[in-house]
């Protein structure tokens, strides 16, 4: 029987995203990833080489999916606000991304897969500049960084909103992120 390499790799990535987002790189266990994926640990080493490369693949997969699948549609500040809302939806629907980036910052000390991730981020910056023709490259980078960090903070720092606003209200947070992004886009596009 032929081995379905794409399906196996996808199961391993899903299991790695789950394990690493829950326990971080240091706490994540290869045997747990193997168990969660239904594969033996040898498959992990065959496809990814080692635990560090698997962590990089998991984080990169999540980020690339978010940036590539969520295009900025239209033009003007409202298009950027719409992207921010859809990015928030992705982040809340795929909390592993925010958690993985938090663990990366806490444990790894440097961005994993930085070159590939930078390319995808650069493409998104270009989309922002197309939607806001008057914005500078640096302004578009700052705007993207702000949107990503605002969306990720909702997941990676859950106790902060409980202290400030009480009960979590995703609709309210989504609307606030969209409004802030729209205002920042308007401001950046008029400089």
pLDDT in tens, the chain (191 residues): 446 788 888 999 999 999 999 999 999 999 999 999 998 888 889 999 999 999 988 888 888 778 788 899 999 999 999 999 999 999 999 998 899 889 888 888 888 878 878 888 899 999 999 999 999 999 999 999 999 999 999 898 888 878 888 888 899 999 999 999 999 999 886 55
pTM above threshold 0.85: yes
Residue 24 lies in a domain: no
- 17 vs 55: CA distance, rounded Å: 8
Residue 4: CB atoms within 10 Å: 10
The structural domain count of the chain equals 1
**Alpha helix (H) residue ranges in the chain:** 5-27, 30-37, 41-48, 51-69, 77-93, 96-103, 114-131, 137-156, 158-165, 170-189
Residue 44 lies in a domain: no
Residue 119 lies in a domain: yes
Residue 89 lies in a domain: yes
Q: For position 87, what pLDDT does the model report? A: 94
Residue 62 lies in a domain: yes
Q: For position 120, what pLDDT does the model report? A: 80
Q: Which domain holds residue 56?
A: 52-189
């Amino acid at each position: 029987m032929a081995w379905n390499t794409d399906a196996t790799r996808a199961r391993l990535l899903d299991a790695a995203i789950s394990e690493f987002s829950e326990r971080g790189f240091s706490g994540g266990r290869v045997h747990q990833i193997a168990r969660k994926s239904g594969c033996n640990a040898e498959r992990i080493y065959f496809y990814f080489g080692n635990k560090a490369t698997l962590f990089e693949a998991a984080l990169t997969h999540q980020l690339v999916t978010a940036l590539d699948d969520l295009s900025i549609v239209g033009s003007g500040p409202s298009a950027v606000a719409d992207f921010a809302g859809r990015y928030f939806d992705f982040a809340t629907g795929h909390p592993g991304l925010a958690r993985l980036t938090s663990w990366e910052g806490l444990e790894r000390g440097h961005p994993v897969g930085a070159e590939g991730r930078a390319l995808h981020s650069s493409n998104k910056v270009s989309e922002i500049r197309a939607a806001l023709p008057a914005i500078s490259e640096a302004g578009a980078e700052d705007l993207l960084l702000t949107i990503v960090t605002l969306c990720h903070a909702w997941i990676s720092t859950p106790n902060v909103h409980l202290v400030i606003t009480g009960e979590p209200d995703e609709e309210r947070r989504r609307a606030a992120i969209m409004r802030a992004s729209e205002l920042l886009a308007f401001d950046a596009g008029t400089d």
